Amino acid sequence: MPDINSLISFAIASVALLVIPGPAVLYIINRSVSDGRTIGYAGVVGIELGTFMHVLAATVGLSAILAASPNAFNAVKYSGAGYLVFVGLRTLSRKPAAIDSSAISMTRIQAFRQGFVINTLNPKIALFFLSFLPQFIDQDKKSNAVQSLTLGTVFVICGFITDGIYALTASSLREVLVKGKALPFVQRYIAGVVFIGLGLVAALAKVS
């Protein structure tokens, strides 16, 4: 079980990442703008359950790596740090996707199912968790699987909160979000800096 300081640090880092508009957030915004708040919330539930599938997979994978070799775990950890920096640089260099407010309407079940499929079948999320979770796991503790699962659960809970706020906001400010320029700026520049910052912090951390 992670200590309270690790949990707080992880929760802060998670929120910093989750508030950045990525593919999942854009899906929630699109659904909320097109079909309203209830449909947006249904998409949120699907997205977060899909995320939890990756939490379970990462828990099993990281536990196996650490059990096999602490050095191998450190290799994964620092490769993950490099990946986060790479994602940040790529984000800075790309133009964000536009919001599509003309998407076809759907039911709550359809929005939930689509959100679940979008996140469950996204290999980038699996790679993200293998990059992000190791930075907060204490290798000196034997309960690495519990640590990983706990941290992942915290991430999903934070996701429910932040994505729920996006659904609420998007359904209330449809025209502003579609026509505004603030969201693309956050998607590109703020997101890129946050990813690079997390990657550098992880790379400079002391090896256990």
Q: Using one digit for the tens of pLDDT, what is the confidence trace for 67-121?
A: 567 676 667 667 767 877 887 788 788 776 665 555 556 789 988 998 898 788 7
pLDDT recorded at residue 132: 77
Distance, in Å, from the CA atom of 160 to the CA atom of 45, rounded to the nearest integer, reads: 7
Give pLDDT tens digits for 123-151: 667 777 777 787 788 777 767 788 888 99
Distances in whole angstroms, Cα of residue 78 to Cα of each of 2, 180, 192: 20, 38, 19
CB neighbours of 167 closer than 8 A, spacing ≥ 6? Answer: 28, 29, 31, 32, 37, 40, 41, 43, 44
156/179 Cα distance (integer angstroms) = 30
Q: What digits encode the pLDDT tens for the residues 186-204?
A: 667 776 787 787 677 666 6
Percent of the chain with pLDDT over 70: 73
7 Cβ partners below 8 Å, 6+ apart? Answer: 150, 151, 154
Nearest Cα to Cα of residue 49 among 141, 125, 128: 125
Angle at 187 between CA 154 and CA 164, to 5 degrees: 40
What's the pLDDT at 103?
Answer: 55
This prediction's pTM? 0.69
Query: How does pLDDT run across 109-125, given as a tens digit for each residue?
Result: 988 998 898 788 776 67
pLDDT score for 208: 43
